Chain A
């Protein structure tokens, strides 16, 4: 006799394991009072330079640390180590994105109570990281002026999962004839209401305004003047 095939209804998220791990992380971060920010962008958008400037600015008043995801090499971690804060590299091998379990593993021996901010730099990729919750509080999507103002239209999903857009390398805007208005309009088309900051990690342009926003969003009180991030 043939075995009967039956159709059963289920309701399961495909990424439920990641979602569960991300929820546990978020809870841990909340309990430790640490503000966690992730950065996503395509390769070469300037994530590491931007992060380095942020770390330098924040470390004067806050206890900060960073995790850096890359397919291979620890070049970014070594570069960020110049900011003299705890840095840990997550080398993903062939995996094109970070997952919540990788974060949990990377911080397992860190005392989160000793930190105010944790930054997570995702693998350079505008597609895959959008699907994975890392337990972060704020997700930044970086877009460099050299990439063209239509990037948001080409990768709407990543912008949709992001909280804040950062236009990087703004010092090169004129040289590459970057159409600011079009870039802002495209971001608003795919993510109505998204906050956008224009910065240059190289010249320091816009970094003060961004850092003020970050600190006020994090709900931490500045102990002194806003850090001078122009390095």
Chain B
């Protein structure tokens, strides 16, 4: 599993932001995670617990917001939900679509700093 590498990257990128903003401490990291990012939420949370121990903020919390897959349906000509990650077709009309609007997120969207 690569969740430990991902957890270390999260702490790296957050650490750079903390430094850039001249903050003294990092309390929380808010992450957006899509179902097609290839990352398992539970595994990431456990990996994060390990990874944070060797940082300047061993108590930092990770908040994960799971976002749904949204695609563009060429037939409805609008954004649509999909059946499932295994069935990328419009939830309304069933047309297959690979045009993703969201679902691959692995983004830090906010930090709680002091």
Contacts and interface: CB of A to CB of B under 8 A. Distances in A.
Interface in A15-58: 15-18
B24 interface: yes
Given A10-B17, A14-B13, 10 more contacts: A3-B24, A13-B106, A17-B12, A130-B38, A131-B39, A156-B88, A157-B38, A190-B88, A192-B98, A193-B98
Contacts of B107: 11-14
A14 B6 CA distance: 7
A10 B37 contact: no
A7 B24 contact: no
B98 A3 contact: no
Contacts of A131: 2, 6, 37-39, 106
B76 interface: no
Contacts of A157: 36-38, 85
- The size class of the interface chain A forms with chain B is 35 or more
Interface residues of B, number: 39
Contacts of A10: 17, 108-111
A6 interface: yes
Contacts of B38: 127-128, 130-131, 157-158, 161
Interface of B: 1-2, 5-6, 9-10, 12-14, 17, 21, 24-25, 27, 30-31, 36-39, 85-89, 96-98, 100, 104, 106-114
Contacts of B113: 5-6, 8
A189 B89 CA distance: 7
Nearest to A2: B114
B111 A14 contact: no
Nearest to A97: B2
B55 to A, nearest CB: 15
Contacts of B37: 131, 157
Given A14-B10, A14-B31, A127-B38, A156 B112 contact: no
A5 B114 contact: yes
Contacts of A13: 13, 106-108
B103 to A, nearest CB: 9
7 contacts: A6-B113, A6-B114, A8-B110, A12-B17, A131-B6, A156-B85, A160-B98
Contacts of A14: 6, 9-10, 13, 31, 106-108
A189 B86 CA distance: 6
A192 B111 contact: no
Nearest to B44: A14
B88 A191 contact: yes
A95 interface: yes
A153 interface: yes
A8 B6 contact: no
A9 interface: yes
